[in-house]
Structure 1
Amino acid sequence: MLYIFDLGNVIVDIDFNRVFGAWSDFSRVPLATLKQKFVMGEAFHQHERGEISDEAFAEALCHEMELSLSYEQFSHGWQAIFVGLRPEVIAIMRQLREQGHRVVVLSNTNRLHTTFWPDEYPEVRGAADNIYLSQEMGMRKPEARIYQRVLEAEGFSAADTVFFDDNVDNIEGAHRLGITSILVTGKETIPQYFAK
């Protein structure tokens, strides 16, 4: 079997409030205002596909949110999203590989984040056979082609694949291709799935 794991809130806990908190401290703009103005719009999607630079993304987002930050301040806040590893998921990934299954990570991410998490959480690379990142592939979930690319690269059919993600759209995108797709709603989702 092929097991595909998303990264954020599946293997590593993330919290956007930490990003807004850091930006609020730097800019003195209230946290609630920043949360209201933040949208995962076109610049966000382009950044995840690797179509625009980190600097262009920072500029676009600061413009959209009417936020005055230096690139360093923006980056510092953007990295603050990571909370910590879910060791129980890492243990399951390792166990699956020991049982002869193929285990990969498929993440909508961006260069700014990949300068941070691989060094911060080396366990992720250690527990996966391969890591597929949206900005390197030029496509993002829930686009059908990203799942198809992973299946082709790994040599598995949709019927022999299980996918874990915390985003409903991503789950539906994979499900439409015939991939068994599990919505991760909390830390207990994955351990409970394998306990069955």
Structure 2
Amino acid sequence: MINAIIFDFGDVFINLEKEAVTKAFKELGLKEWSQDLDELNSKFEIGKISEIQFIEGFQKHLPNASVDEIRKAWNAVLGDFPLYRLEFLQNLKGKYRLFLLSNTDAIHIEKFEHKVGISFARDFYQCFEKVYFSFEVGMRKPTEDIFKFVIQKQGLQPNKTLFIDDRKDNTDTAEKLGMVVWNLNPNEEDVVDLFDKKF
């Protein structure tokens, strides 16, 4: 019997426009996404570098792009957050222990809060006992560390905890640690269909 649910954020609640961010950087003159940029993103997502160091890392590849242009291109990935998903979450509150566990960074969270408005963001955050953002805890999925950290911190029983994420590498780690998982396909499924699933 599930008594706790840990949700991912991107492509579970907020829709992600991955092609839009690629297009935006291409328009700024980025020829290809390099390993260097992957490493930069990883460091930023675990809070190892500051926002300005992250942007300066991009400027090495895009010397003519301004700070604002890079920030805007980076935020192009953030799509809409349908109200019905928030309402679904609000209806779950009190029935299960709810947590948010997201690989994200300070730029995206600031933009999300600005985009949806402070009252929407507050209503969203208030659905959870605790929100875990990778840039704040210094760890990111799919490493086991971040899952173990949340399980231990919250006293969760893995076999009674459902983890929902759109990335298979993340759900694979959670499953390995004994959690019940739903590897949600955002092109075909919606988090609000949770109870159509048999967990």
Q: Does 1:188 align with 2:189?
A: yes
Q: Does 1:51 align with 2:48?
A: yes
Q: Does 1:86 align with 2:86?
A: no
Q: In the alignment, what sits opposite 1:10?
A: 12
Could you give the per-residue CA deviations for residues 135-165 of structure 1, whole angstroms, max 9, x where no partner exists? 1001000111111111122221111110111
Q: In the alignment, what sits opposite 2:172?
A: 172
Counterpart Cα distance in 2 of 1:168 and 1:178: 15
Q: Secondary structure at the match of 1:127?
A: coil
Counterpart Cα distance in 1 of 2:137 and 2:64: 31
Could you give the per-residue CA deviations for residues 25-55 of structure 1, whole angstroms, max 9, x where no partner exists? 4x2x3xxx65x42556221111100001112
Q: Does 1:112 align with 2:112?
A: no
Counterpart Cα distance in 1 of 2:141 and 2:63: 28
The farther-off stretch of 103-112 and 38-47 is 38-47
Give the total of aligned pairs.
188
Counterpart Cα distance in 1 of 2:5 and 2:63: 40
Aligned residue identity for 2:49: I
Shift in alpha-carbon separation, 1:142–1:44, aligned structure 2, 3 A:
same
Unaligned runs of 5+ residues in structure 2 are none
Could you give the per-residue CA deviations for residues 55-104 of structure 1, whole angstroms, max 9, x where no partner exists? 212222343x45631111111111221111133432332222132x1111
8 Å CA contact retained: 1:164, 1:184: yes
Report matched runs for 1:23-102 at 5 Å: 23-25=25-27, 27=28, 29=29, 34=31, 36-37=32-33, 41-63=38-60, 65-66=61-62, 68-99=64-95, 101-102=96-97
Q: Secondary structure at the match of 2:47?
A: coil
TM-score (norm 1): 0.85
